[in-house]
Amino acid sequence: MKIIKNGLLEHARQAESPNSNARPDETDISLIVIHCISLPPGEFGGPWIDRLFDNTLPGDAHPYFQGIQSLRVSAHLLIRRDGSVTQYVPFHKRAWHAGISCHEGRENCNDFSIGIELEGTETTDYTPAQYDSLISAIAALADTYPGISTDRIVGHSEIAPARKTDPGPSFDWVFLQQKLAQAKRGSL
């Protein structure tokens, strides 16, 4: 994978979300935030994540949707269980994924971060295909944005610990760091 013109990821399906705006400084991209999502909770596949991020989630399609249909949220990327990638917001723009957040004393992490959603739950193992796509996306981001490095990747739970617990204990941080180190050495 690589970043192509206009902040888009090559080979990602594009599904533009209206839930984005200009960053205060487009050159200040220095953090990756990993999230997890499934809609309805615990169910995978289907159109619901796209519908949430494009503000067309029908409240009557599932009882859970009634409480979230009015949210205005987005992420830069979604990585499905099969490893396929959807991009909702170009990287140079601010996606609305972190909410009230703080990293190393800096508040408003949306201003300087890339949000990546993994289709899953905090207690269901993520798939090898998801890790492969995540590693490829991180490598492309690190090649394009000098502020991104392997020590600048966090879970949503780290930047909003009072509110969020994702990506949860099912996410294998050690495996991710090992694979990123291999990729950096060119042996992936």
Active site residues: 117
- In terms of Cα–Cα distance, which of 13, 106, 23 is closest to 53? 13
Angle made by CA atoms 52, 169, 87, in degrees to the nearest 5: 30
> What whole-number distance in Å separates Cα of residue 16 and Cα of residue 38?
19
Please state, in angstroms and rounded to a whole number, the distance separating the CA atoms of residues 35 and 170: 12
- Asked if 20 contacts 74 with a C-beta cutoff of 8 angstroms, the reply is yes
Element (H, E) at 134: helix 128-144
Q: Which residues, 6 or more positions from 74, have their beta carbon under 8 angstroms from its beta carbon?
A: 17, 19, 20, 53, 88, 89, 95, 96, 97, 115
Phi, psi of 5 (to 5 degrees): -50, 155
